[in-house]
Amino acid sequence: MEIALSLHRSQTPLMGSSSPGNLSSLGRCFASKERDWCHPFSRICCSSMERRLRPKPKKGGHVERQVTVLEDTPIWKPSSSAICRQIEKLVVCNRYREAMELFEILEVGHNGFDVGGSTYDALVSACVGLRSIRDVKRVYNYMINSEFEPDLFVMNRILFMHVRCGLMLDARKLFDEMPERDSASWMTMIGGLVDSGDFSEAFRLFLCMWEEINDGGSRTFVTMIRASAGLGLVQVGRQIHACALKRGVGDDNFVSCTLIDMYSKCGSIDDAHCVFDQMPEKTTVGWNSIIASYALHGYSEEALSLYYGMRDSGATIDHFTISIVIRICVRLASLEHAKQAHAALVRHGYGTDIVANTALVDFYSKWGRMRDAQHVFNRMRCKNVISWNALIGGYGNHGQGEEAVKMFEQMLQEGMIPNHITFLAVLSACSYSGLSERGWEIFYSMSRDQKIKPRAMHYACMIELLGREGLLDEAYALIRSAPFKPTTNMWAALLTACRMNENLELGKLAAEKLYGMEPEKLCNYVVLLNLYNSSGKLKEAAGVLQTLKRKGLRMLSACSWIEVKKQPYVFLCGDKSHSQTKEIYDKVDSLMVEISRYGYAVENETLLPDVDEEEQRILKYHSEKLAIAFGLINTPYWTPLQITQGHRD
């Protein structure tokens, strides 16, 4: 009988495959296993000891031992070409992090690896995809250390990598040292300057490029039109426009859409519409640009009319179009149009789009339809911080502070990180609803838990909260203890609190601070005027009125509008232009008589002292009363009325 006893030394499994997973694993453990490579696996052998049992030897005999040494086990070592190929494959599959991990093999102790231009191109794409400054420096340093001589294509890619990752100083140095440059080099650098907001330097570099290569395609003009918009100089934009027409790219859709945007941002809406009219093919982006331009400048009705023109033309309506329309409906307070936009959102297959649905949440929240806002919010598969902010702000603005705080807490539980707008919304909700204790907890948690420094707007909310509780001394102390210079919003919050609590002395102090910071802002004078008026200080109120007249400041008439049977109607204070004027005024008079029975003092309704009878009459028939009376006359009693007011400036 023969018994074989084997003693085995443990060894790490060897990889004979070049699969991405194996190579990635090798890259991760390479640095920690570096010492193992100093001891070739050929020195580690498996030995076995054979012992044969023979007939019992004679006395003095011995057992013969034999040791068999196995042949060297072949070890797979990665070659530079295999690693480079694998990096390129990973980048094609958008597996950028794994590609950079594999790149570590080239960095750690293998300076002799030869890397070609295609691999560097892949590494550039990985750095851009990750937006990692550290990886940019790693790749560029390895290229320098390996004495690689890139051609113009690779140099442009390296320049692009620096620009896209925000390393503009390094990019400019690299650009200046390039021995050869083409239009791609120039436009990469100029585009980076425009994206970073350095519009003046972008124009200087553009003029240098024009002198050197005198070349410009549609991409060049799109970039420089964007720079013109950034500077807000319509004359410069017009010159670029003329140059584009001379070069024959003025009819390019990308150029036209950028021109519309530029003219709009520079305040020349007529030029924007002219460019739109001259477009040979009115694309979806073109329609969106001109609609957004009109909406940006407050021409909501015209923007809505353009939207219906877009729909009738057969152009494709996308989620961005519907988002603009919903925001227009917010301004117009048009629930009917908003419902149509909501239906179009679902009909065109954008029912889950985060941007459009967030706009819907914002619309329903601003107009008090919180049940609809919550319904849209709950159906959203994906929510961002803007979605949460819109809902929280909606609950807060409509006096549902506890619900706003509840949504804020749910937001934190779901792992969403709040921003300063979130805290502004929830602190305002606490202020409006008198949730003092909860408001202070959230205020302190900003810096403690979320590492967000409270801004002036957050301090203003807390001043309002203290003012609503009548704690004016504490509110003034909070202003003085702020870690920055108090802003107009903070002093305005204190002034409003003083008016609510009729604290004349502190109100005068806040007003003086505001006058020094915003001497031409009418509302500051009006608040102090009302404070004097409500305190019976008519002489002081008359002095404020004289100051208003001396400065040439006058109160503009407020305007209110109401939508009846899908048709908007606008009313001004003392308006007599409507065909139903007599019925409207009679209805207001009857309403005043009726509500006076419940304690409403009609005779005390005055804003300014020393007003004449005509002004007093106008105040009696202000725009909101006229709109309500018109709505009651022309709608059934069960129909809810929604009044929108444009406040005085």
Q: What angle do CA 30, 115, 187 make, to 5 degrees?
A: 120
- pLDDT confidence tier of residue 109, bands split at 50, 70 and 90: low
pLDDT class of 3 with cuts at 50, 70, 90: very low
Between CA 393 and CA 390 the distance in angstroms is 5
Please give the span between the terminal C-alpha atoms of the chain, in angstroms, as a whole number: 110
Our separate counts of H helices and E strands in the chain read: 32, 6
Q: In the prediction, which pLDDT does 261 show?
A: 93
441/508 Cα distance (integer angstroms): 31
Handedness of CA 320, 321, 325, 328 (dihedral sign): positive
> Higher model confidence: residue 576 or residue 357?
357
d(CA 357, CA 345): 9
Helix (H) or strand (E) holding 359: helix 354-366
Q: DSSP string spanning 184-248?
A: HHHHHHHHHHHHTT-HHHHHHHHHHHHHHT----HHHHHHHHHHHHHHT-HHHHHHHHHHHHHTT
Residue 617 pLDDT > 80: no
- Other C-beta atoms closer than 10 Å to the C-beta of 105 total 21
The predicted-structure confidence for 130-161, as pLDDT tens digits, reads as follows 888 888 888 888 888 877 777 888 888 889 88
Burial class (CB in 10 A: 0-12, 13-18, 19+), 318: middle
- Return the percentage of the chain with pLDDT > 70, whole number: 82
φ, ψ dihedrals at 3, nearest 5°: -115, 125
pLDDT in tens, 565-591: 877 788 887 778 888 888 999 998 888
> At 514, is the pLDDT very low, low, confident or very high (cuts 50, 70, 90)?
confident
- Three-state SS at 645: strand
The Cα angle at residue 118 between residues 114 and 121, in degrees rounded to 5:
110
pLDDT value at residue 25:
41
Contact, 558 vs 574, CB < 8 A? no
Distance, in Å, from the CA atom of 571 to the CA atom of 623, rounded to the nearest integer, reads 5
Q: Return all residues near 544 (Cβ < 8 A) that are at least 6 apart.
A: 525, 528, 529, 532
pLDDT for res 132: 83
Please, which pLDDT band fits residue 532 given cuts at 50, 70 and 90? confident
Count of CA atoms in the C-beta half-sphere (13 A) of 572: 5
Q: In this predicted model, what pLDDT tens digit does every residue of 370-396 receive, in sequence order?
A: 999 999 999 998 899 999 999 999 999
Is pLDDT at 79 greater than 50 in this prediction? Answer: yes
Q: How far is CA 597 from the centre of its chain?
A: 51
Dist. CA 400–CA 457, nearest whole Å: 21
CA distance 414 to 421: 18
Residue 95 zone, left/alpha/beta (φ > 0; ψ -120 to 50; rest): beta
User: Is the predicted pLDDT of residue 524 greater than 90, yes or no?
Assistant: no
pLDDT score of 307: 92
Query: Distances in Å between the alpha carbon of 78 and those of 27, 107, 114, 117, 382?
Result: 10, 14, 13, 20, 43
Sign of CA dihedral 293, 299, 303, 305: negative
Q: Is residue 67 pLDDT above 50, yes or no? A: no
Q: What percent of the chain has pLDDT over 90?
A: 33
H-run or E-run covering 66: strand 66-69
* Greater model confidence, 201 or 114: 201
Complete DSSP assignment for 530-543:
HHHHHTT-HHHHHH
Residue 78 confidence class, pLDDT cut points 50, 70, 90 = low
CA distance 221 to 258: 9
Select from 402, 346, 338 the least CA-distant residue to 373. Answer: 338
Q: Which amino acid is at 524?
A: N
* 280 contact partners, CB below 8 Å, separation of at least 6: 251
Average pLDDT over all residues of the chain: 80
How far is CA 557 from its chain centroid?
35
Q: Is the pLDDT of residue 608 over 70?
A: no
Return the pLDDT at 240: 92
Q: Is the pLDDT of residue 508 over 80?
A: yes
pLDDT 10s digits, 278-329: 998 899 999 999 999 999 888 988 999 999 999 899 888 888 998 899 888 8
* CA angle (204 as vertex; 198, 208 as ends), nearest 5: 140
Domain coordinates in residue numbering, the chain:
282-382, 558-647
pLDDT at 62: 47
Single-letter residue type at 121 = D
Evaluate if residue 107 carries a pLDDT over 90.
no
Residue 442: pLDDT band by 50, 70, 90 thresholds? very high
With cut-offs at 50, 70 and 90, classify the pLDDT of residue 557.
low
Which pLDDT does position 77 carry in this prediction? Answer: 54
**90 and 98 Cβ atoms separated by less than 8 Å:** yes
Question: Rounded to the nearest 5°, which phi and psi values hold at 559?
Answer: -130, 140
Tell me how far apart the alpha carbons of residues 395 and 81 are, in angstroms, rounded to a whole number.
61
